[in-house]
Chains A and B, each alone.
Chain A
Amino acid sequence: MSARADLLLGEPADRSNWTVRLRTRLQHTVPPGQALPDRQPVYVSSWIYVFGVLTLAAFVVILVTGGVLAIGGAAWWHTSGFGHFVNSLHLWSVELFFAFMVIHLWGKYWMAAWRGKRALTWMTGVVAFLGSIGTAFTGYLSQSNFDSQWIAGQAKDGLNAVGIGAYFNVLNPGQMLLWHVVLLPFVIGVLIVLHVILVRRHGVVPPIDAAEE
Chain B
Amino acid sequence: MHWGVIQISVTNLVIIGVMLVLFVLALVLPFPGAHGDDTPKSPR
Contacts and interface: CB of A to CB of B under 8 A. Distances in A.
A45 B31 contact: yes
A199 B8 CA distance: 35
Given A99-B15, A99-B19, A47 B35 contact: no
Contacts, number: 31
Majority-rule SS of A interface residues: helix
A46 B23 CA distance: 12
Interface of B: 15, 19, 22-23, 25-27, 29, 31, 33-35
Interface string A33-48: 0000000001001111
Leading 5 A-B pairs by shortest Cβ distance: A45-B34, A47-B26, A48-B26, A45-B31, A103-B23
A153 to B, nearest CB: 20
A48 B27 contact: yes
B35 A107 contact: no
A47 B23 CA distance: 9
Contacts of A103: 19, 22-23, 26
